[in-house]
Every structure is written in C-alpha cells, then in structure tokens.
A and B are shown apart, each in its own frame.
Chain A
Amino acid sequence: MLTMKNKLLLLAASLATAVQVLGGSITIKGSDTMVVLAQKWAEAYMQKTPGAKVQVTGGGSGIGFAALQNGQTDLATASRPIKAKETENCIKSFGKRPTEYKVALDGITIYVNPVNTVTQLTVDELEGIYTGKIKNWKDVGGPDIPITVYSRENSSGTYEFFKEHVLKGKDFAASAQTQQGTAGVVQAVMKDKGGIGYGGVGYASGVNRLKIAKTKGGTYFEPSEEAVLAESYPLWRYLYIYVNPAVNTGEVSSLLKWIRSDEGQKLVSEASYYPLPASLRAK
C-alpha cells in the first residue's frame, strides 16, 4: 500500500519529469520567410526523434534576433546576416557572439509578364529599371511598353537584399509600386504587360522568369539550383540560423546538425529553396 509519503514522492517525480519534458522543448523564432521551412524541419525532426519537441514562430528576422538576445528562443532564423548592432546586443546580454549557421540558399527571381519578349537582363539594367533611369522596355531590347516597377514593402528581408545587391544602396524609383508579399508582386506582374517584379523562387506561376547576367557580355543564367549553387546566377542569398553558443548542446545541437545533414536539406527543396552545397553540410 502506498503511504502518504510515497504518494508525495511519486507526485514530485512525475512533476520533475513534466518539467524535464517542458525543458526539452526547442523554440525556433524569426524570419517569416523561413517559417514554412522551419516548420517542415520541426515536424520531420519530431517524427524522427521521439520525445523531442520543437516549436516554431515567425515575426521577422529582427524579432528573432531580439528574442535570441533575451533568451526567449533557442534558435533564431534569419533571411539576412546578423547586424553589428544585434551582435553587440547579444554580447551584452550573454557575453558571447551568437554562432551562425548557413542552412539554405534562396535565389531572387525576376518576373515579367508572359507577353514581354525580354528574356534576359544584366544586373546593371535591373538597377536602371528599379531606380527609374530606364523607363521603357524598348531600351533593353523589348517591345515599346512603359515599364511598371513592382517592389516589396520595405520591412521585408527580400527588399533589403535587393536594395543592397542590385541597387547598390540607391533608393527605389518613387514610381515603384509596393506590394505586400511576393504573391502580390507576382499577381500584379501577371496582370500588367509592362510589369517587372522580384521575389523568391517558389512563386513564379503565371509569369516569366528572366535570365540574369552579372555584367554586359557575361553569360545569362536561369535561377536554377545548379546556377545558384555554382554562384553563377548573381542574385542569391543564404538563409541562416543563429544560436547562443551556451545552449548549443544536447538536443539543440543535434537538431542543428540534422538540419544541415542530407536528410534535413532534402526538406529545403520541398519548401522551394535551394539546399546547401555539400561542402557546407554537416557530416
């Protein structure tokens, strides 16, 4: 027969296990671009590892870094590298720089309307179009249709990437039409004969994807997996996960390793991003 004391002990023990289970849950927070991908990783990992619990939330890369700094999340996902100021905040709060892991590649695709005869552009021509210097498709070898420029809202990581890497820090033309989300851009370009837009690879349905060359006279490349991996397609970026080195042990560490393994990288293609080249994967 169980005595009162034993019952209490049993209760305490079950409480302790409950706490342990809770403590074992890993949280991933950050980039909205990567929520779907992170969710895929979480599901597959939980299925593979009984007892593991992984929670995913979005909010934005900045939110992810703020949460990492405060210890609110174990892993922070980001579609851009950490900023110096954010690194400083992390050092102030936990004394170390967060460890950076590249976890996938993303190619930025340029969309045009299907009736447009232009099939390729150089990065400089793109810059001209997006800063408003080139105003008609005939200036880049296309039909005589005025160009309508579609862009993302300025809080998106894609916007920031495009601004720094294509426009080299210059501002978008004042006439650029801002759309919420890549889908809005695709939708608008689909309906606009003179439209041009940019966004992630997974989205291009109903529009044409342009081939891009680094310079005039260079080779034009499709945003395909091979071209991005060989770094010959000029518009691509890494997707990252950051972690506080102090918590990068045990389950967290094995999750990170699994994400960068062949098995984890298989899910990257399913989410319409490009998997890491073999040299960057975890062994």
Chain B
Amino acid sequence: MTEETPEQRGVDRDWSGIRRSANGRPLEWIAEKMIQGVSFTAIAGVFLIFLFVGKEAFPVILSQTDSRLIQPIIPASQMATTPPEVLQRYLGLSVREFKALDQETLKDLMQAREDGSKDIPEYARSDPDSGVNGSGWSYLLTPHQWSGYDRPQYIWQPVGNIQKFNIIPLFVGSLKTTLIGLFFAVPLALAAALYVSQLAPVRVKEWVKPGIEMLAGIPSVVVGAFALLVLATWLQSLFHYEVRLNAFVAGIALGFAVIPLVFSIAEDALTSVPKSYVQAALAVGASRWQAARDIVLPAAIPGVFAAVVLGFGRAIGETMIVLIVCSAPVMSWNLFDSARSITTTIAAEMGELVPGSPHYRILFMLGTILFAVTFLTNLLGDFVINRLKRRLEGKR
C-alpha cells in the first residue's frame, strides 16, 4: 500500500494519463459541455452577487445621490415654458419613460413634487441643514456639526426630514461586537482545539467534535433569542452594568456562533502537523502538553491566524444575533453601550425604504463594503491555510 493521495498521483489532473476522448460520441460530448456550462454558471454567481449589490450602490459611490431636504422646484404652471430635457432630468425619468407619459400625468407629477415641498414643516425648512446633502462622501465619513449640536459628531439618523447618514457609528458597532465576540471565542476555541487535537483520548475526541459541530448547527436566530431571554439577564447580574441589552451581550452571543468555526479550522491545522514532530518531542522527554504547546502550536500558527481571520469574517457578517439583542446606532466604544452593526442596519431599515432613494442606495453600499471585507478576509484565510498545508506536507 502506498501513502500517496490521489492528488499526488495526478489522478484529478488527467486520470492517470488515460485519455479516452469523447470524439465520435456526440452524447458524451454534449454531456461534458453541459457539465462545464453548469459549473461555470455556478461560478459566475459569485461575480453576479458583487455586481448586483454593487450596481444599486453605484450612485452613492459616485456621489450622484441627493438627500437634500430642500430641492429646487419647477412649479407645475411653468411646465409649458420648460424645455423637455430639463423637465425629464428634473423628474428623474428616463427618455423612454418621459415619452410614455402624457401631458396630464407629467403635470400631475410636477404638482406632486411641488406639493411635497410644501408639506415640509416650517421648523425643518428653516433648519440651517435643510440644504445639506447627507449622502455625500464627506458627510458619510467625517463628523459634521448639525444644527442643535454643540460640536461635530458622527450621527446615523436616516429617518426624518434631515437625514444624517454617517456610517462610522455602524462600523464602530460592527467592530465592537465582533471584537468582543473574538476575544471571548478565540481563546476558548483554541484551547479546545489544542486539547482535542493533541491531548484528548480518541474516545473523547469522537464525542467532543460532533458536540461542537452541533453548536455550529444552532441557527443564529435561536442564539439571538437565547441571548435576549436568558444570557442578557445572567450577564447583567454577573457584571452589574446598567443597561440590560448592549454590545457586550451581543458580542458574547456572537462568540457562541464563532467558536465552532474557529475551533474546526484550528483543530484541522493542528492535526495536519505531522505526527513525527510530536513523536520526536516525546522521545526526548517532553510531556504531551509541552509537545502540543511548544512544537505543534508554533508549527501550526498560520492556521491559528487563519482561524481568527475567518472567525472575524463570520462574526462581522452575522445579522440576526445583533438584530435581536441590540440596535441603537451609538457612536461609542463603551462595551456596555448599545451598538448597531452594518448587517443589522441593512436588515432593519430596508423594509421601510423607497427603492432608489439615497438611504436605499447607502444600505446597498454597506452591503458592498461588507462583501468586500469578508471577501478579503476569506481570501487571506484561505491563502494562509493553503500555504501552511503545503509546507507541512513538505511541498514547497
């Protein structure tokens, strides 16, 4: 019996060198092409996702959205004297749509726009910020001194007459909950991975691993409900903080969801360290723990790093837990304040929006950013793991 894996023998490259072409067998040829087609479609899906989420966000990225409260108004009575191109742009219609509408409908449309501007209450109209386009990049990222505030602040208040879209509090919220989750989950998961992969008897291993996988199988909405009903009360009586539902509770609950992922990747990396390393250490008198800590762990450290990176990607993309536990977009790094993550914002606010509005597009932009961030963390994690595995298997 050889120790070679199928890969090493090159089986999946060209089937041990045997090539039996499908030439002259049209059915076979069609089937192969179909297999190819289906798999390429599946892969195109990944790029489609980025395309479709990004497409809706494009106007925000290009600063083409306008969320000003006071917009220039062309009175409906001036319709006849306004050039059609101006009218079409003013009403936000495509050329085809513009041509399809009759004069009466156009007039009604202009009237609606005019009425809408009349409905703005006086206190909002006289607000010095009524001409601010909150969906511009500088307002999205840098603090602004809004009227009624005594200093520039990061504010996400997308509802109301004057919309404030600063996305920094959402990033803070995401990072806050994610980091709490990781600080809780990573040490636990690593210690457990070290135990299960190096120290545990085989019998124990066979019980522990499915157990931790079961934890992964608990839907996040259930973890969220558990955190809301039980965990929040326990943690409050343990730490005596004031507000029952906060970023800390959400973070710990996120940790529950991240533990199985970090565990399984780390355990995999630790197991892939060749047995000979351990045997050598044991032979010179090391205890099992010493071999695990000083030989196996350092050898697998890139895998541990990858586990943390992928855990980060998982935690920052989690929606339902944070949505159920806490949701105020507060600009604060205090762990016991509320927090609203990027994912939560998308899930909670999407339903009330006018499609195509600046707020709608900004949510899609948040989705795009989230996609990009997780894409990069996954790429990094995969890259590190693959390199590690190749090194440990002696292929350089």
Contact = CB atoms under 8 A, between A and B. Distances in A.
Given A97-B108, A155-B348, A178 B326 contact: yes
Contacts of B242: 148
Contacts of A60: 351-352
Contact of B354 (A59, A62, A92, A163): A62
B63 interface: no
B139 to A, nearest CB: 15
A216 interface: no
Nearest to B360: A62
Contact of A188 (B109, B157, B244, B357): B244
B121 interface: yes
A80 to B, nearest CB: 9
Nearest to B122: A168
Nearest to A70: B355
Contacts of B329: 154
A91 B109 contact: yes
Contacts of A177: 243, 245, 328, 338
Given A92-B97, A153-B348, A164-B121, A170 B148 contact: yes
A61 B354 CA distance: 10
B172 to A, nearest CB: 13
Interface string A259-275: 00000000000000000
A155 B101 contact: no
Contacts of A63: 351-352
B244 A171 contact: no
B93 A92 contact: yes
Interface residues of B, number: 52
Given A97-B112, A174-B330, A89 B354 contact: yes
Interface in B311-339: 323-324, 326-332, 338
B161 interface: yes
Given A85-B357, A171-B157, A154 B101 contact: no
Nearest to B344: A153
A88 B113 contact: yes
Given A62-B353, A170-B148, A92 B101 contact: yes
Interface string A89-100: 101100111000
A65 B105 contact: no
A1 interface: no
Contacts of A174: 330-332
A154 B158 contact: yes
A83 interface: yes
Contact of B355 (A66, A97, A168): A66
B223 to A, nearest CB: 16
Contacts of B88: none
A84 B329 CA distance: 27
A62 B116 contact: no
B112 A87 contact: yes
B121 A169 contact: yes
Interface in A59-81: 59-63, 65-66
B328 A62 contact: no
Interface of B: 91, 93, 97, 101-102, 105, 108-109, 112-113, 115-117, 119, 121, 123-124, 127, 146, 148-149, 155, 157-162, 164, 242-245, 323-324, 326-332, 338, 340, 348-349, 351-355, 357
Given A84-B117, A92-B97, A168-B123, 11 more contacts: A63-B352, A83-B354, A91-B108, A95-B108, A151-B328, A154-B158, A155-B348, A163-B159, A169-B162, A171-B149, A177-B243
16 contacts: A60-B351, A62-B354, A66-B354, A83-B354, A91-B109, A92-B101, A95-B101, A97-B108, A148-B242, A154-B329, A163-B160, A170-B148, A171-B155, A172-B157, A174-B331, A191-B244
Interface of A: 59-63, 65-66, 83-89, 91-92, 95-97, 131, 148, 151, 153-155, 157, 159-160, 163-164, 168-172, 174, 176-180, 188, 191
**Nearest 7 CB-CB pairings of A with B:** A84-B116, A178-B328, A60-B351, A62-B352, A60-B352, A87-B112, A155-B349
